[in-house]
Amino acid sequence: MHIEQTRSPGGRFAHLDHDQLRRLVGMVEHDPAGDPFPVTGWDAVVWVVGNATQAAHFYRTAFGMELVAYSGPETGNRDHKAFVLQSGAVRFVLTGGVDPASPLLDRHRRHGDGIADIALEVPDVDRAVAHARATGATILDEPHDVADAHGTVRLAALAAYGDTWHTLVDRSRYRGPYLPGFVACTDARRPRLFQALDHVVGNVALGQMDRWVEFYNRVMGFTNMAEFIGDDIATEYSALMSKVVANGNHQVKFPLNEPALGKKRSQIDEYLQFHDGPGVQHLALATGDILGSVDAMRAAGVEFLDTPASYYTDPALRARIGEVRAPIEELASRGILVDRDEDGYLLQIFTRPLGDRPTVFFELIERHGSLGFGKGNFQALFEAIEREQERRGNF
């Protein structure tokens, strides 16, 4: 790793125009004028992991992400290491405790590798926090400036489900590689296997889904999207209920799951047990070439859920999905799922949980007009997940 003090030119959106981003993640037109809590987009997904040094290696080699900034003992941060990785508009910050007294190690002891902070970019941190306070949110960090030679960032933080929080970031007056205290890094050029973050899914406890949907409605002005998974779909298989909230232009989408009572133990219950409470279940990464991304990631050792062969030969499914951009055999050989709605279709695939605990996993998604989340694939997906649960003896 080579650390340098200057930042290479070009922002993280330099290669992505608005129209490409809109198609990739299914954005809609939105007038921010009447929005009580405008959100410009995702800022970063901040992880706490057991070994950030090795996790950074994994996301660089297997996920094709580039190291862009670093903070750690070498830069004066005695508490922990933090690696900032980027792919297109997606930014991950991988943090791990160095000092045995680091609070990150306490968090890791409880939750294992996972996401602590879903940071959001807002145009006005103070206004957002004032609205959040007035609507009953817990303010973890009051608005404050942090500054270095590259400028000033204004930050605040709100509590979300479980031990998750949302840092609110206004970096309009900042030119550094990430945040004050981080130094820029120059990494090898890597294949860009995904370009944008599509959605971040939270698992909450039984009976808490509507409470958190209402939280995002009330505090952040997020609206409910059409997709709703009720126990009518869920009970026959791994039981869950799911609703989706989104910011005004649908760039930031939060599906929220809760377990439902089913015939067998729910995948959400397994998550809540091993994560020791609510938290982020999966991140969906938008790609323009899901076949190429899956091939590259699989070659690097990323394991995807198997899809039953019957999924592709089922005449009802074939009739439902119609014509898609790749031959069905190409999708079948990779286990890529298809879903279609009135707006178009999407291709998607899910990884196995990436850490030691059966908690966080990833989705790759390639949208072709569809604004959904693959509701039609829940049944096929649940069957595949349950086979995995069975192998772990947690079913």
- What size, in residues, is the chain? 395
Cβ proximity to Fe ion, 208 vs 351, nearer residue: 351
- Of the candidates 134, 125, 117, 132, the residue with the CA atom closest to the CA atom of residue 169: 125
- Of the candidates 209, 166, 225, the residue with the CA atom closest to the CA atom of residue 39: 166
Among the listed ranges 153-161, 180-188, 277-285, 312-320, the one in contact with Fe ion (CB under 5 A) is 277-285
Among 213, 284, 290, 337, binds Fe ion (CB under 5 A): 284
Which residues neighbour 315 within 8 Å (Cβ) at sequence distance 6 or greater?
none
Among the listed ranges 61-69, 181-189, 286-294, 363-371, the one in contact with Fe ion (CB under 5 A) is 363-371
Check whether 282 is labelled as a binding-site residue.
yes
- Of the candidates 280, 135, 121, 143, the residue with the CA atom closest to the CA atom of residue 217: 135
* Count of CA atoms in the C-beta half-sphere (13 A) of 374: 23
Between CA 230 and CA 243 the distance in angstroms is: 9
Check whether 2 is labelled as a binding-site residue.
no
Among the listed ranges 64-72, 261-269, 278-286, 379-387, the one in contact with Fe ion (CB under 5 A) is 278-286
Least distance from C-beta 376 to Fe ion, angstroms? 13
Helix count and strand count (H, E) for the chain:
12, 18
Least distance from C-beta 15 to Fe ion, angstroms? 25
Least distance from C-beta 130 to Fe ion, angstroms? 32
Cβ proximity to Fe ion, 67 vs 381, nearer residue: 381
Structure tokens at 10: 């070009």
Among 163, 170, 269, 363, binds Fe ion (CB under 5 A): 363
Is residue 366 within the footprint of Fe ion (CB under 5 A)? no
Check whether 199 is labelled as a binding-site residue.
yes
Q: Site residues for Fe ion, window 232-261 (CB under 5 A)?
A: none
Among the listed ranges 42-50, 279-287, 292-300, 378-386, the one in contact with Fe ion (CB under 5 A) is 279-287
Least distance from C-beta 135 to Fe ion, angstroms? 27
What are the Cα distances from residue 93, in Å, to 25, 80, 179? 21, 12, 11
Structure tokens at 312: 């592709």
Return contacts of 312-321, CB within 8 angstroms, 24+ apart: 320/376, 321/345
Least distance from C-beta 255 to Fe ion, angstroms? 6
Where do contacts with Fe ion occur on this chain (CB under 5 A)? 284, 363
Q: Which residues are annotated as a binding site for Fe cation?
A: 199, 282, 363
Q: Which residues are annotated as a binding site?
A: 199, 282, 363
